[in-house]
Structure 1
Amino acid sequence: MNAPLRINEALLIADRAFKPFQCVAWAPQDGNGELSLTVIDRTNNSIGRKQIPSSAYTDPEQLQRLLEQAREELSLEGYKLQSWSMPN
């Protein structure tokens, strides 16, 4: 996957990366192009946050690195995530 990602594709990928938890993602209205991700547990508590600049979420390799880093941070905090790999 070398073609630039559209925001909707990046959102779907991010959502799948944090299963079994829910990933809520949005682009702030200030128009800076940044994507905000919040991972929520089953009791609706936020367990992780990540800001992703547009240059990273449009690039599959950068997005993969950032999502893997966020997954690792959650794992270190004791959260068990399902296995995941970046789609091709």
Structure 2
Amino acid sequence: MTAPLRINEALLIADRAFKPFQCVAWAPQDGNGELSLSVIDRTNNRIGRAQIPCSAYSDPVQLEHLLEQARAALSEDGYTLQSWSMPH
């Protein structure tokens, strides 16, 4: 069984998943436990975004699935990402 991820670990994983682009992540102050991600290109334009519920970012399997989906969407939009795999 895999240990739940803390938010800081999830943020680091998400940041690495979208290289060479920047991933900006934050947890809204409304306390709903959601994590918001925006992927920013070199000209500071947002090229992608995602909302990840606490239950997903704390579960490595769900987080990997959601990050892979977001990566696939960026690839379909013509963005080239560096290779990435979920750390284990």
Q: TM-score range by the shorter chain?
A: over 0.9
Equivalent residues, number: 88
Q: Distance between the aligned counterparts of 1:49 and 1:31, measured in 2?
A: 19
Gaps of 5+ in 1: none
- Structure 2 distance, partners of 1:62, 1:2, is 12
In structure 2, what residue type is equivalent to 1:50?
Answer: A
Partner of 1:67: 67
Instruction: Please tell me the residue identity of whatever aligns with 1:2.
Output: T
TM-score by length of 1: 0.99
Q: Within 2, Cα distance between the matches of 1:29 and 1:86?
A: 28
TM-score by length of 2: 0.99
Percent identity, aligned pairs only, is 83
Q: Kindly report which structure 2 residues correspond to 1:7-86, keeping only aligned pairs within 5 A, or say none.
A: 7-86=7-86
* Runs of 4+ off more than 2 Å: none
Give the match for residue 87 of structure 2.
87
Q: Distance in 2 between matches of 1:71 and 1:29?
A: 26
**Structure 2 letter corresponding to 1:24:** V
For residue 85 of structure 1, give the secondary structure of its aligned residue in structure 2: coil
